[in-house]
Chains A and B, each alone.
Chain A
């Protein structure tokens, strides 16, 4: 069964450093998403991406964040200058249409 994959599973970085989180969505899906979950809190939407552009973003997704689909298979989330409060689990998701989304296992980002 096809699945969404994410790498790395755990990323430790120092405050102010740039990080790139990688995702490989399910191959025939057209909609891509990033969410995050701070420990003990609810899952929060960050951004959705369709037809090679951002279709919606949340207030969390400020100028420090960017997304890219550099080739036909990868979908990345970049945080330019990480802050302590960026520490969270980041989930990538994809969907074929406007229905159920399939989530990856997540990348745990720890900013020290």
Chain B
């Protein structure tokens, strides 16, 4: 079964620095999404990249997708303390009626002042 694995598992940086998180998966996908989760809270959708796209931007976020390597990266530029959270990639393979997300293990990002 496909599975998203993020690395690093944990990342600690200073405010203003860039944070890069990577995600690898095992099977062909239709799209890949990144979510943020603050401690004990719900998941917030950040960005979606389709399998025929290679790069996408949204504000301070930049996502890349390399389907040949089955990997994606999330870059957060000019990080802020408020970016402290866990970040998950989730892959989607379209089935008959569903659109289930298969989540990775997550990267815990800590941005220090």
Decide if A and B are genuine partners: yes
Chain A interface residues (CB < 8 Å from chain B): 31, 33, 35, 42-45, 48, 50-51, 55-56, 58, 89, 91, 93, 95, 98-106
Q: In the bound complex, do residue B41 and residue A105 qualify as a contact, i.e. CB atoms below 8 Å apart? A: yes
B97-A51 in contact (CB<8A): yes
Closest 10 CB pairs between A and B? A55-B97, A56-B98, A48-B98, A103-B43, A43-B103, A105-B42, A55-B98, A98-B99, A45-B100, A100-B45
- 14 A-B pairs with CB atoms under 8 Å apart are A31-B99, A35-B101, A35-B103, A42-B103, A42-B104, A43-B90, A45-B101, A56-B96, A56-B97, A99-B99, A100-B33, A101-B33, A104-B42, A105-B42
Question: In whole angstroms, what is the CA distance A33 to B97 when docked?
Answer: 12
Which A residues lie within 8 Å of B104 (CB)?
42
B77 near A: Cβ within 8 Å? no
* B48 on the A face (CB < 8 A): yes
Q: Please classify the interface of chain A as helix (H, G, I), strand (E, B), loop, or mixed, using the class held by over half of its residues.
A: strand
Contacts of B41 in A (CB 8 A): 105-106
Per the 8 Å Cβ criterion, residues 91-113 of B in contact with A are 92, 94-106
Query: Which residues B39-77 have CB closer than 8 A to chain A?
Result: 40-45, 48
Q: Are A106 and B42 in contact (CB under 8 A)?
A: yes
Q: Which of B42, B94, B96, B99 contacts A103 (CB 8 A)?
A: B42
Q: How far is the CA of A51 from the CA of B96 in the complex (A)?
A: 12
The answer to whether the Cβ of B87 comes within 8 Å of any Cβ in the partner chain is no
Give the distance in Å from the alpha carbon of A91 to the alpha carbon of B94 in the complex: 21
Query: What CA separation (Å) do A93 and B44 show in the bound complex?
Result: 11
B88 contacts the other chain (CB 8 A): yes
CA distance A103 to B105 in the complex (A): 18
Closest to B47 in A: A100
